[in-house]
Chains A and B, each alone.
Chain A
Amino acid sequence: MTNINGRQGGAGWVRLILFFGCVWTWVLGGSDTHAMEIKLQAQLIWGTNDEKPAHDDCKEVSGRLREKLGRVFKWKNYFLIKEETFTVKSGAPRRVKMSDKCTLEFQVVDDFTLEVQLFGEGTLLKTVRQPIQALRQGELAVLAGDAKDKLGDAWFVVLTMPRK
Protein backbone atom coordinates (compact mmCIF):
# COMPACT_ATOMS: atom_id res chain seq x y z
CA MET A 1 0.00 0.00 0.00
CA THR A 2 2.73 2.39 1.01
CA ASN A 3 4.59 1.38 -2.09
CA ILE A 4 1.58 2.16 -4.25
CA ASN A 5 1.03 5.54 -2.54
CA GLY A 6 4.69 6.35 -2.98
CA ARG A 7 4.47 5.65 -6.71
CA GLN A 8 1.38 7.78 -7.00
CA GLY A 9 3.16 10.62 -5.21
CA GLY A 10 6.11 10.34 -7.62
CA ALA A 11 3.78 10.41 -10.61
CA GLY A 12 2.23 13.60 -9.23
CA TRP A 13 5.62 15.29 -9.10
CA VAL A 14 6.32 14.17 -12.63
CA ARG A 15 3.00 15.63 -13.79
CA LEU A 16 3.77 18.88 -11.95
CA ILE A 17 7.20 19.14 -13.54
CA LEU A 18 5.75 18.39 -16.98
CA PHE A 19 3.08 21.03 -16.44
CA PHE A 20 5.57 23.74 -15.51
CA GLY A 21 7.82 22.56 -18.34
CA CYS A 22 4.98 23.09 -20.80
CA VAL A 23 4.20 26.51 -19.36
CA TRP A 24 7.87 27.51 -19.56
CA THR A 25 8.15 26.26 -23.12
CA TRP A 26 5.01 28.19 -24.03
CA VAL A 27 6.37 31.36 -22.44
CA LEU A 28 9.73 31.03 -24.19
CA GLY A 29 8.17 30.03 -27.49
CA GLY A 30 5.72 32.88 -27.22
CA SER A 31 8.53 35.42 -27.46
CA ASP A 32 9.27 34.16 -30.97
CA THR A 33 5.74 33.75 -32.15
CA HIS A 34 3.90 36.71 -30.64
CA ALA A 35 2.24 39.02 -33.11
CA MET A 36 4.81 41.56 -34.19
CA GLU A 37 4.07 44.59 -36.28
CA ILE A 38 6.55 46.93 -37.90
CA LYS A 39 5.98 50.10 -39.81
CA LEU A 40 7.94 50.59 -42.99
CA GLN A 41 8.37 53.12 -45.72
CA ALA A 42 9.31 52.27 -49.31
CA GLN A 43 10.36 54.95 -51.75
CA LEU A 44 10.85 54.36 -55.46
CA ILE A 45 13.50 56.79 -56.67
CA TRP A 46 14.92 57.51 -60.09
CA GLY A 47 18.59 58.48 -60.36
CA THR A 48 19.71 60.42 -63.42
CA ASN A 49 22.22 62.95 -64.62
CA ASP A 50 19.54 64.55 -66.76
CA GLU A 51 16.87 66.97 -65.73
CA LYS A 52 13.47 65.96 -64.40
CA PRO A 53 12.16 62.87 -66.24
CA ALA A 54 8.82 62.67 -67.98
CA HIS A 55 6.99 61.54 -64.86
CA ASP A 56 4.60 64.37 -64.17
CA ASP A 57 4.12 63.82 -60.50
CA CYS A 58 7.65 63.03 -59.39
CA LYS A 59 9.48 65.41 -57.12
CA GLU A 60 13.11 65.91 -56.34
CA VAL A 61 14.46 63.99 -53.38
CA SER A 62 15.76 66.38 -50.78
CA GLY A 63 17.06 66.50 -47.24
CA ARG A 64 19.00 63.79 -45.49
CA LEU A 65 18.10 61.03 -47.94
CA ARG A 66 19.36 63.09 -50.88
CA GLU A 67 22.62 63.73 -49.06
CA LYS A 68 23.08 60.04 -48.28
CA LEU A 69 22.33 58.95 -51.84
CA GLY A 70 24.63 61.63 -53.18
CA ARG A 71 27.49 60.45 -51.02
CA VAL A 72 27.16 56.79 -52.03
CA PHE A 73 26.12 57.20 -55.66
CA LYS A 74 27.13 59.94 -58.03
CA TRP A 75 24.04 60.60 -60.04
CA LYS A 76 23.26 64.28 -60.25
CA ASN A 77 19.52 64.15 -59.62
CA TYR A 78 17.23 61.86 -57.66
CA PHE A 79 13.47 61.97 -58.21
CA LEU A 80 10.85 60.38 -56.01
CA ILE A 81 8.42 58.39 -58.15
CA LYS A 82 6.36 56.74 -55.43
CA GLU A 83 6.27 56.53 -51.67
CA GLU A 84 4.37 54.00 -49.57
CA THR A 85 4.11 53.73 -45.81
CA PHE A 86 2.63 50.52 -44.45
CA THR A 87 2.79 47.98 -41.65
CA VAL A 88 3.83 44.36 -41.78
CA LYS A 89 2.59 41.87 -39.23
CA SER A 90 4.25 38.61 -38.42
CA GLY A 91 2.53 35.73 -40.13
CA ALA A 92 0.95 38.02 -42.73
CA PRO A 93 3.12 38.73 -45.76
CA ARG A 94 2.47 42.16 -47.25
CA ARG A 95 2.70 42.99 -50.96
CA VAL A 96 3.40 46.52 -52.06
CA LYS A 97 3.30 47.54 -55.70
CA MET A 98 5.82 50.26 -56.42
CA SER A 99 5.37 50.39 -60.20
CA ASP A 100 4.06 48.31 -63.07
CA LYS A 101 7.37 46.48 -63.13
CA CYS A 102 8.31 46.46 -59.49
CA THR A 103 6.49 44.79 -56.59
CA LEU A 104 7.84 44.06 -53.14
CA GLU A 105 6.72 41.45 -50.66
CA PHE A 106 7.54 41.83 -46.98
CA GLN A 107 7.43 39.17 -44.31
CA VAL A 108 8.44 39.29 -40.66
CA VAL A 109 10.44 36.09 -40.30
CA ASP A 110 11.06 36.45 -36.56
CA ASP A 111 11.71 39.16 -33.99
CA PHE A 112 15.00 39.95 -35.65
CA THR A 113 14.50 39.51 -39.35
CA LEU A 114 12.50 41.10 -42.11
CA GLU A 115 12.42 39.31 -45.43
CA VAL A 116 11.99 41.38 -48.55
CA GLN A 117 11.31 39.86 -51.93
CA LEU A 118 11.66 41.87 -55.08
CA PHE A 119 9.48 40.91 -58.03
CA GLY A 120 10.08 42.26 -61.51
CA GLU A 121 7.04 41.86 -63.74
CA GLY A 122 5.84 39.00 -61.56
CA THR A 123 9.15 37.16 -61.41
CA LEU A 124 11.06 36.82 -58.17
CA LEU A 125 14.41 38.53 -58.67
CA LYS A 126 15.87 38.91 -55.25
CA THR A 127 15.27 37.86 -51.66
CA VAL A 128 16.87 39.95 -48.97
CA ARG A 129 16.86 39.41 -45.23
CA GLN A 130 17.27 42.62 -43.32
CA PRO A 131 17.88 42.89 -39.58
CA ILE A 132 14.92 44.69 -38.01
CA GLN A 133 17.03 46.15 -35.24
CA ALA A 134 19.31 47.81 -37.80
CA LEU A 135 16.27 49.36 -39.49
CA ARG A 136 15.12 50.64 -36.11
CA GLN A 137 18.51 52.29 -35.69
CA GLY A 138 18.14 54.17 -38.96
CA GLU A 139 19.64 51.72 -41.45
CA LEU A 140 18.59 52.20 -45.05
CA ALA A 141 18.06 49.09 -47.16
CA VAL A 142 18.35 50.00 -50.82
CA LEU A 143 17.39 47.72 -53.68
CA ALA A 144 18.69 49.26 -56.86
CA GLY A 145 19.71 48.60 -60.43
CA ASP A 146 20.53 50.07 -63.79
CA ALA A 147 17.52 51.39 -65.67
CA LYS A 148 16.85 49.26 -68.70
CA ASP A 149 14.71 51.93 -70.33
CA LYS A 150 17.30 54.67 -70.21
CA LEU A 151 21.01 54.07 -70.40
CA GLY A 152 22.93 55.65 -67.57
CA ASP A 153 19.96 56.08 -65.25
CA ALA A 154 19.17 53.94 -62.24
CA TRP A 155 16.25 53.04 -60.02
CA PHE A 156 16.29 52.73 -56.24
CA VAL A 157 13.82 51.34 -53.75
CA VAL A 158 14.77 52.77 -50.37
CA LEU A 159 13.35 50.93 -47.37
CA THR A 160 13.33 52.64 -44.01
CA MET A 161 11.53 52.40 -40.72
CA PRO A 162 9.88 55.78 -40.20
CA ARG A 163 10.30 57.42 -36.81
CA LYS A 164 7.12 57.30 -34.77
Chain B
Amino acid sequence: MNEQTAWRLQAWLDGELPSDEAAEVLRLVNADAEAAALVRELKLTRAWLTGNELRRAVPESREFYWSKIERELRPVAAKAAEAAPHPAGGWGWWRWLIPATLAAALAVFLWMPGSSPPRQNAGLAPAEVENPPEDLGNITFRSDSEQMTVYWVNNL
Protein backbone atom coordinates (compact mmCIF):
# COMPACT_ATOMS: atom_id res chain seq x y z
CA MET B 1 0.00 0.00 0.00
CA ASN B 2 1.39 3.37 -0.92
CA GLU B 3 1.27 6.52 1.16
CA GLN B 4 -1.47 8.04 -0.97
CA THR B 5 -3.78 5.10 -0.25
CA ALA B 6 -3.03 5.30 3.47
CA TRP B 7 -4.00 9.00 3.48
CA ARG B 8 -7.22 8.20 1.64
CA LEU B 9 -8.07 5.52 4.20
CA GLN B 10 -7.52 8.02 6.99
CA ALA B 11 -9.66 10.62 5.23
CA TRP B 12 -12.38 8.02 4.74
CA LEU B 13 -12.34 7.17 8.44
CA ASP B 14 -12.64 10.86 9.29
CA GLY B 15 -15.60 11.20 6.94
CA GLU B 16 -13.82 13.64 4.68
CA LEU B 17 -14.34 11.87 1.35
CA PRO B 18 -17.22 12.46 -1.08
CA SER B 19 -19.66 9.56 -1.37
CA ASP B 20 -18.30 8.11 -4.63
CA GLU B 21 -14.73 8.05 -3.33
CA ALA B 22 -15.93 6.69 0.01
CA ALA B 23 -17.64 3.79 -1.76
CA GLU B 24 -14.42 3.09 -3.64
CA VAL B 25 -12.38 3.07 -0.42
CA LEU B 26 -14.94 0.80 1.24
CA ARG B 27 -14.50 -1.69 -1.58
CA LEU B 28 -10.76 -1.50 -1.11
CA VAL B 29 -11.05 -2.14 2.64
CA ASN B 30 -13.27 -5.17 2.01
CA ALA B 31 -10.93 -6.58 -0.61
CA ASP B 32 -7.48 -5.70 0.73
CA ALA B 33 -6.39 -7.23 4.06
CA GLU B 34 -3.57 -4.69 4.50
CA ALA B 35 -6.00 -1.78 4.07
CA ALA B 36 -8.46 -3.40 6.49
CA ALA B 37 -5.65 -3.85 9.05
CA LEU B 38 -4.67 -0.21 8.77
CA VAL B 39 -8.28 0.90 9.22
CA ARG B 40 -8.60 -1.28 12.33
CA GLU B 41 -5.43 0.17 13.76
CA LEU B 42 -6.54 3.73 13.06
CA LYS B 43 -9.93 3.09 14.68
CA LEU B 44 -8.25 1.60 17.72
CA THR B 45 -5.88 4.57 18.03
CA ARG B 46 -8.75 7.02 17.79
CA ALA B 47 -10.69 5.16 20.49
CA TRP B 48 -7.69 5.15 22.80
CA LEU B 49 -7.05 8.83 22.34
CA THR B 50 -10.64 9.95 22.83
CA GLY B 51 -11.32 7.62 25.74
CA ASN B 52 -8.10 7.90 27.67
CA GLU B 53 -6.84 11.42 27.22
CA LEU B 54 -5.56 12.70 30.53
CA ARG B 55 -7.71 15.56 31.80
CA ARG B 56 -5.71 18.06 33.80
CA ALA B 57 -7.89 20.11 36.11
CA VAL B 58 -6.62 23.60 36.95
CA PRO B 59 -7.38 24.53 40.57
CA GLU B 60 -8.66 27.98 39.60
CA SER B 61 -11.23 29.49 37.31
CA ARG B 62 -10.28 30.19 33.75
CA GLU B 63 -10.02 33.98 34.19
CA PHE B 64 -7.96 33.65 37.34
CA TYR B 65 -5.63 31.08 35.75
CA TRP B 66 -4.86 33.38 32.82
CA SER B 67 -4.45 36.41 35.05
CA LYS B 68 -1.71 34.49 36.88
CA ILE B 69 0.08 33.83 33.62
CA GLU B 70 -0.26 37.49 32.71
CA ARG B 71 1.21 38.45 36.07
CA GLU B 72 4.21 36.20 35.46
CA LEU B 73 4.76 37.64 32.01
CA ARG B 74 4.50 41.28 33.05
CA PRO B 75 7.87 41.55 34.87
CA VAL B 76 9.62 39.97 31.88
CA ALA B 77 8.09 42.55 29.57
CA ALA B 78 9.05 45.34 31.98
CA LYS B 79 12.65 44.09 32.16
CA ALA B 80 12.82 43.87 28.38
CA ALA B 81 11.59 47.45 28.13
CA GLU B 82 14.23 48.59 30.59
CA ALA B 83 16.96 46.72 28.75
CA ALA B 84 15.98 48.24 25.42
CA PRO B 85 18.54 50.87 24.41
CA HIS B 86 17.38 54.48 24.48
CA PRO B 87 17.57 56.25 21.16
CA ALA B 88 21.01 57.73 20.98
CA GLY B 89 21.45 61.51 20.85
CA GLY B 90 18.86 63.45 18.89
CA TRP B 91 16.43 63.45 21.88
CA GLY B 92 18.44 65.86 23.99
CA TRP B 93 16.20 68.07 26.06
CA TRP B 94 12.99 66.67 24.47
CA ARG B 95 13.35 63.77 26.85
CA TRP B 96 12.77 66.17 29.76
CA LEU B 97 10.44 68.58 28.03
CA ILE B 98 7.65 66.01 27.46
CA PRO B 99 7.25 64.89 31.09
CA ALA B 100 7.63 68.50 32.26
CA THR B 101 4.82 69.56 29.90
CA LEU B 102 2.62 66.72 31.12
CA ALA B 103 3.29 67.63 34.75
CA ALA B 104 2.46 71.28 34.03
CA ALA B 105 -0.78 70.29 32.26
CA LEU B 106 -1.73 68.08 35.20
CA ALA B 107 -1.02 70.87 37.67
CA VAL B 108 -3.21 73.29 35.68
CA PHE B 109 -5.98 70.68 35.48
CA LEU B 110 -5.90 70.07 39.22
CA TRP B 111 -5.77 73.77 39.97
CA MET B 112 -8.82 74.56 37.84
CA PRO B 113 -11.95 74.91 39.95
CA GLY B 114 -14.55 72.19 39.41
CA SER B 115 -12.03 69.75 38.01
CA SER B 116 -12.43 67.24 40.81
CA PRO B 117 -14.27 64.08 39.73
CA PRO B 118 -17.97 63.76 40.56
CA ARG B 119 -18.76 61.55 43.54
CA GLN B 120 -22.23 60.36 42.70
CA ASN B 121 -20.94 57.03 41.38
CA ALA B 122 -18.49 56.50 44.20
CA GLY B 123 -20.72 54.00 45.93
CA LEU B 124 -20.63 51.50 43.10
CA ALA B 125 -17.26 52.26 41.57
CA PRO B 126 -14.82 49.37 41.33
CA ALA B 127 -12.81 48.85 44.47
CA GLU B 128 -9.76 51.04 44.69
CA VAL B 129 -6.60 49.35 45.74
CA GLU B 130 -3.44 50.91 47.06
CA ASN B 131 -0.37 48.88 46.43
CA PRO B 132 2.81 49.38 48.39
CA PRO B 133 5.83 48.96 46.10
CA GLU B 134 6.66 45.57 47.50
CA ASP B 135 3.40 43.94 46.46
CA LEU B 136 3.55 44.62 42.75
CA GLY B 137 3.19 40.91 42.09
CA ASN B 138 -0.25 40.87 43.71
CA ILE B 139 -3.32 40.75 41.56
CA THR B 140 -6.90 41.92 41.80
CA PHE B 141 -9.80 40.65 39.79
CA ARG B 142 -13.56 40.79 39.93
CA SER B 143 -16.13 38.22 39.05
CA ASP B 144 -19.26 40.07 37.94
CA SER B 145 -21.37 36.96 37.94
CA GLU B 146 -20.49 36.12 41.55
CA GLN B 147 -20.36 39.76 42.78
CA MET B 148 -16.92 39.07 44.17
CA THR B 149 -13.74 41.12 44.17
CA VAL B 150 -10.62 39.12 44.90
CA TYR B 151 -7.34 40.60 46.07
CA TRP B 152 -4.70 37.92 45.72
CA VAL B 153 -1.83 38.60 48.11
CA ASN B 154 1.42 36.74 47.61
CA ASN B 155 3.40 37.76 50.61
CA LEU B 156 1.50 36.38 53.60
Contact = CB atoms under 8 A, between A and B. Distances in A.
A20 interface: no
A74 B59 contact: yes
A130 B124 CA distance: 9
B78 to A, nearest CB: 21
Given A112-B122, A125-B156, A141 B151 contact: yes
A143 B122 contact: no
Given A73-B61, A131-B122, A144 B152 contact: yes
Interface stretch (B16-24, B94-102, B130-138): B130-138
Interface string A5-27: 00000000000000000000000
A126 B123 contact: no
Contacts of B57: 74
Which of under 10, 10 to 19, 20 to 34, or 35 or more describes the interface residues of A? 35 or more
Given A71-B145, A131-B124, A49 B59 contact: yes
Interface stretch (A33-41, A52-60, A84-92, A132-140): A132-140
Contacts of A143: 151, 153
B54 interface: no
A15 B127 CA distance: 44
B59 A128 contact: no
B153 A142 contact: no
A120 interface: yes
Contact of A120 (B125, B143, B152, B155): B155
Contacts of B60: 73-74
Contacts of B145: 71
A139 B124 CA distance: 10
Closest 4 CB pairs of A and B: A133-B123, A120-B156, A112-B122, A129-B128
Interface of A: 49, 68, 71-75, 101-102, 112-113, 118, 120, 124-134, 137-146, 148, 152, 155
Interface of B: 57-61, 64, 119, 122-132, 135, 138, 143, 145-156
